Chain A
């Protein structure tokens, strides 16, 4: 599969995200990087769709901001300080991918949110590094971007790194 970018319409965004996740994560060890919703919300929705969220490893970049720095993460989740902590996101993603066995999937939800917290140049160089690293490790990656952000220069650059662009 390699690297796939999904252009997502903001209308019914989360419903579409869950659809994409369920489809792409089949037969893999999924590692879900969430910059939008706390892991608990995603886990509850996955459970209601008949998916076992306990089999997913979450890198949650939003709960610490909402719940505070003393919040404890469950066994299948790691809290990153904020969507602005991209170095920590990169480290946790690559380490999780390294530690997991079998076929792995990194699911990044979403680059549009990352752009709200970081400069475009920083997001561009981060994606360049992370996607190249994951490709070299043989890890499949799904990147979500809002439709409205698709014309941005940094997203065009990320598109050039991808194997497929889907809607």
Chain B
């Protein structure tokens, strides 16, 4: 039986996409920060689904629905997946920017507090 090398490569791509979706879910669980982050996982899963539907359409596995499978797998799902990934990454970006602000504010304020408390202490000495 001859296996089309293109089909094999596409199936490998689907497997890698599923692994990528798992890793993005693990990252979400690490922080459990925001359900926005789950949108990235869903986006990657939809890419895997789109690739699978494209393979089914490409190899005419369901002849009655080839056009619909092509449209869904190559247009509708990639658009949806892209929106979900963009939303998820935007959520992550917001969170990381917030962490940076918190980090800088904590450092700056504690150092200023020390200077202030130190100078009051010195003024109090006779």
Contacts and interface: CB of A to CB of B under 8 A. Distances in A.
Contacts of B111: 99
A29 B105 contact: no
A134 to B, nearest CB: 14
A101 interface: yes
Contacts of B113: 54-55, 57, 75-76
B33 interface: yes
A73 B100 CA distance: 17
B3 interface: no
A88 B102 contact: yes
A92 B102 contact: yes
A39 to B, nearest CB: 12
B interface, size bucket: 10 to 19
A contacts with B: majority SS: mixed
Contact of A57 (B31, B98, B99, B110): B110
B109 interface: yes
B107 interface: yes
A100 interface: yes
A148 interface: no
B114 interface: yes
Contacts of B112: 75
Contacts of A92: 102-103, 105-106
B75 interface: no
